[in-house]
Amino acid sequence: MELSGVSDEKRPTVDLVKDKNGTDQVLLKNPKGASVKISLHGGQVLSWKSDKGDELLFTSAKGNSKPPHPVRGGIPICFPQFGTRGSLEQHGFARNKMWLVEENPPDLPSFDSTDKAYVDLVLKPSDEDTTRIWPHSFEFHLRVSLALDGNLTLISISRVRNINSKPFSFSIAYHTYFSISDISEVRVEGLETLDYLDNLFDKERFTEQGDALTFESEIDRVYLNSRDVVAVFDHERKRTFLIKKEGLPDVVVWNPWDKKARALTDLGDEEYKHMLCVDGAAIEKPINLKPGEEWTGKLNLSLVLST
């Protein structure tokens, strides 16, 4: 089933497919052959492939892809809570709910649809379980697009609207699992001199001292008020991920390393070497919405290849 676009090699396409469990997924393709796959379970991006077929996102071979379990990998959306910072289940409920394809989404005046394959999803509190644990009326609109440009660009735009009669607050993170050659061979730039909350030390606040972030052990940090662009350099694969964000002041950096990886049932013992989570997020200062107000956040991921 094709949602938009036409069967033309020169046009982007958007198709509705199903995984092995029968869960609906949306497949975006651009004319160069790059693709993005989004599951309606969780509104989760599961795959982002270059025009050469290289997978850019990590997904665990041991991950359970059958609802209601979220997949370990891709880009799960943590909403309305990140981690255990609150009374909800870890990372909130959005990643465990079924989203709907939105036929008539709200306008996005700044969005240029030229040469983009994109889909609009929406999450609403439609079941008693959601309203019982988080008694607020909201609409979470999510647009995921795959651009056609010199670099490979994946853009996610979130819009959360308060349709309740009382205010509420939330945290959010795009928990992005990048596929990397080896955790010991990558570095992250753009976090220099920033304060961060270290989850390995009971959220104690520290200041980053190094010129670039490299990895020799477990890391679980929330960097605060970061720059709008952060870069992940993978030397062995000669590629760089650029993470550009709007409305998402914080950056989460996470890798479980060997001991924690062995304790996770949905992650292989050695898989930690080939993944790194770098998230655009709003965590330290929750977003407050009055009745009728709307928040917009944008995550722009692009791939740059070096020779």
Q: Where are the domains of the chain?
A: 13-305
pLDDT at position 87? 66
Q: What is the pLDDT of residue 164?
A: 87
Mean pLDDT of 254-271: 95
Residues of each annotated binding site: 72, 90, 95
User: Cα angle vertex 37, ends 72, 102, to 5°?
Assistant: 110
Residue-level pLDDT at 133: 85
- pLDDT tens-place string over residues 137-170: 999 999 999 987 645 688 888 999 999 889 999 9
Per cent of the chain over pLDDT 90 is 70
Q: Is 267 helix (H, G, I), strand (E, B) or coil?
A: coil
Binding residues for substrate: 72, 90, 95
Distances (CA, A) of 35 to 195, 265, 279: 36, 29, 21
Instruction: Single out the residue of 200, 205, 210 nearest to residue 255, CA to CA.
Output: 200
pLDDT (0 to 100) of residue 307: 67
Q: For domain 13-305, give its CATH number from 2.70.98.10, 3.30.1510.10, 3.30.365.10, 3.40.50.300.
A: 2.70.98.10
Residues 180-215: pLDDT tens digits? 999 999 999 999 999 999 999 999 999 999 789 999
R_g of the chain, CA atoms, integer Å: 19
pLDDT tens digit sequence for 84-116: 776 677 788 999 999 999 988 888 878 888 888
DSSP element (H, E) containing 132 = helix 128-133
Q: Quick one: how far is CA 41 from the chain centroid? A: 14
- pLDDT at residue 7 in the model: 45
The two three-digit tokens of residue 33, written as one number: 């052959």
pLDDT for the residue numbered 20: 86
Contact present, 3 and 15 (Cβ < 8 Å)? yes
Summarised one tens digit per residue, pLDDT across range 213-232 is: 999 999 999 999 998 999 99
pLDDT at 9: 58
**Residue range 32-56: average pLDDT?**
94
Share of the chain above pLDDT 70, in %: 93
pTM: 0.93
- CA atoms of 122 and 79, how far apart (whole Å): 13
Among 63-72, 76-85, 142-151, 256-265, name the one with the lowest average pLDDT. Answer: 63-72
Cα gap 286→229, rounded to integer Å: 21
